Amino acid sequence: MSSEKQVLGPDDVRRAVTRMAHEIIERNHGLAGVALVGLQRGGVWLAEALGAEIARIDHPIPVGSIDASLYRDDIGLRPVSPGSVSDIPFGVDGTTVVLVDDVLYTGRTVKAALDAITDYGRPAAVQLAVLVDRGHRELPIRPDFVGKNLPTSSSEQVVATAEGVVIS
Amino acid sequence: MKHFRSISEAGPDALRRLLDIADHMAEVNRRPNPKVPALRGKTVCNVFFEDSTRTRLSFETAAKRLSADTMNFAVSSSSVNKGESLRDTIETIAAMGIDAFVIRHKSSGAPWQISQWTTASVINAGDGWHAHPTQALLDAYTIRTALNRTDSFDGLRIAIVGDIKHSRVARSDIQAFTMLGADVTLVAPKTLLPPSLDGFDPVTVTTDLDAIIGDLDVLYLLRMQRERMNEALVPSLREYTSRFGLTPERAARLPEHALIMHPGPMNRGVEMAVDPSELPGSVITQQVTNGIAVRMAVLFDLLGSGANLEAES
């Protein structure tokens, strides 16, 4: 059971990031008022990679990060410790915020991030970009931009970095 | 962690974790809407048997910014005046369903006694001369952020000046600063030092502030408690100021980067013989601001992190 399986390699991840960057630009008609927000901690590298790719293709947009651990619905049920500090270097009011995470699973982290980001202001819209959608949603949340749909069993672990995606 | 009663009991891992969590709380406090839902449904009761304004208000603000409910127990308007014992008082409040007690009491050790009578978490907000661990936490956090010392205080030279003997702030600060690696020097007349430094972490002691002031990274002034004058522990306040107070001459000799700290309330003209608002190194107001963030960190760690469940299961 502890066998590791590499699902995507570094080149696959790079191509997926490029495709998602194009999709974000296309969907948002030229990126007016769009900002990326990576979810601490796993989504931060992906938000930065998407930000760099969007800047290369079109023009730079603001990139921030958010820590949703003070908004989780399982506080007190299991150990949670805040990751890195939130950094939202732009006004959220009227901005189209693209939340970015590495792996989408139950949707509870995204729900916490939605609560967190709306404490900074009223976004014009919130979209969701994930590198891997592994299924098993427990809330009515779906991604707008997906690197790879990856059917998994809930006993498996999925790790997604710039070096690739590994199931174990 | 179940309780937060002293720095030495919490230990170095918890100290660093709380300082890390405080970074997140400070970010919350900088927002236009400085409130998060982390401790919804939790109740925190402040039980202060001694006067305090800043510590009690700081704890109350911290609890509210985490969305906890707060209750305040003021001894002056309570059944303690009808002769109710401490134990009955605590058990009565605990029966109302409290998740954490914040305790200030004139007797050293009161928080340990109280935690035997309740299943709630106990936070020490000052017990006798013994400990004031959230003050030490906010002092350490202030130094860490102002001097950008996230990893350790290795090599930092910190002088704590004044009435060490009667100061719970000094005892907790010494523990926290040395735990993080700082070199701590105590500066006081012999009458205001504890009779023995056994049980203290390794510190240097001197009566000569002028000999070390030019090499300090942090000058921490304690409040010169005027009631000590009646005990003839210092010849006069003027004499105290001339030897241990921060005068304009001494302020000029501090290194440019050095921080000036004070736990409040300040005695202007005694230990603080300059206007601190004119000192670029003064971080006294930051200490007050940071007090809310570190108390949020303590409350979140005790009530919200799930660490208790792990320990109990």
CATH code, domain carrying A40:
3.40.50.2020
Grade residue B74 by pLDDT with cuts at 50, 70 and 90: confident
Residues B137 and B275 in one domain: yes
Res B313 pLDDT > 60 = no
Res A2 pLDDT > 70 = no
Res B157 pLDDT > 50 = yes
Q: Tell me: the pLDDT tens digits for B111-148?
A: 999 999 999 999 999 999 999 999 999 999 999 999 99
Q: Give the number of domains in chain B.
A: 2
State residue A82's pLDDT score.
67
Res A1 pLDDT > 80 = no
State residue A76's pLDDT score.
72
State residue A81's pLDDT score.
66
* In a domain? residue B30: yes
Longest dimension (CA), chain B: 59
Place of tokens 């010392």: B149
* In a domain? residue B1: no
pTM beyond 0.90: the answer is yes
State residue B198's pLDDT score.
72
Res A3 pLDDT > 90 = no
Q: Tell me: the pLDDT tens digits for B205-216?
A: 999 999 999 999
Grade residue B308 by pLDDT with cuts at 50, 70 and 90: low
Residues B161 and B90 in one domain: no
**Ranges assigned E (strand) in B222-266:** 259-261
Residues B75 and B96 in one domain: yes
Non-local (6+) Cβ contacts of A11 within 8 A are none
State residue B311's pLDDT score.
44
Question: Rounded to whole angstroms, what are the CA distances from B162 to B63, B142, B170, B200, B306?
Answer: 32, 20, 9, 16, 40
Chain A closest-CA separation from residue B75 CA (Å)? 31
State residue B103's pLDDT score.
96
Grade residue A19 by pLDDT with cuts at 50, 70 and 90: very high
Report the percentage of chain A scoring pLDDT > 90.
88
Residues B276 and B167 in one domain: yes
State residue B312's pLDDT score.
41
Q: Tell me: the pLDDT tens digits for B56-70?
A: 999 999 999 999 999
State residue A80's pLDDT score.
67
Identity of residue B275: D
Q: Tell me: the pLDDT tens digits for B37-53?
A: 999 999 999 999 988 88
Contact A70 B23 (CB under 8 A): no
Tokens at B83, concatenated: 């002769």
Place of tokens 């949020």: B296
- Give residue B220's domain range: 133-286
State residue B310's pLDDT score.
45
State residue B225's pLDDT score.
79
Residues B146 and B273 in one domain: yes
**Which range scores top for mean pLDDT: A14-28, A67-81, B262-276?**
A14-28
Residues B185 and B280 in one domain: yes
Residues B158 and B253 in one domain: yes
Longest dimension (CA), chain A: 47
Per-residue b or e along B283-303, where b marks 16 or more CB atoms closer than 10 Å to that residue's CB: bbebbbebbbbbbbbbbbbbb
**Rounded average pLDDT over A126-139:** 97
Q: Give the number of domains in chain A.
A: 1
Nearest Cα residue to A23 out of A145, A123, A136: A145
Question: In chain A, what is the straight-line distance between the N-terminal and C-terminal CA atoms, in Å?
Answer: 7
Contact A82 B28 (CB under 8 A): no
Residues B21 and B122 in one domain: yes
Residues B143 and B88 in one domain: no
Mutation pick from A73, A81, A93, A115 vs chain B, by most beta carbons of B within 10 Å, is A81
CB pairs under 8 A between A and B: 57
Q: Tell me: the pLDDT tens digits for A48-70?
A: 999 999 999 999 999 999 999 89
Residues B170 and B306 in one domain: no
CATH code, domain carrying B14:
3.40.50.1370
Contacts of A71 in chain B (CB under 8 A): 36-38
State residue A31's pLDDT score.
94
* In a domain? residue B82: yes
* In a domain? residue B43: yes
Q: Tell me: the pLDDT tens digits for A74-85?
A: 887 766 666 689
Nearest Cα residue to B123 out of B263, B18, B199: B18
User: CA nearest B23 in A: which residue?
Assistant: A85
Tokens at B286, concatenated: 């930051």
Residues B306 and B252 in one domain: no
- Give residue A161's domain range: 5-167
* In a domain? residue B2: no
Contact B38 A115 (CB under 8 A): no
Res B309 pLDDT > 80 = no
Q: Tell me: the pLDDT tens digits for B187-240?
A: 999 999 988 877 677 899 999 999 999 999 999 999 997 766 677 788 888 999
Residues B92 and B48 in one domain: yes
Interatomic CA distance for residues B234 and B251, integer angstroms: 23
- Residue A1 contacts B, CB cutoff 8 Å: no
State residue B30's pLDDT score.
94
Question: Nearest by CB to A80, which of B27, B35, B305?
Answer: B305
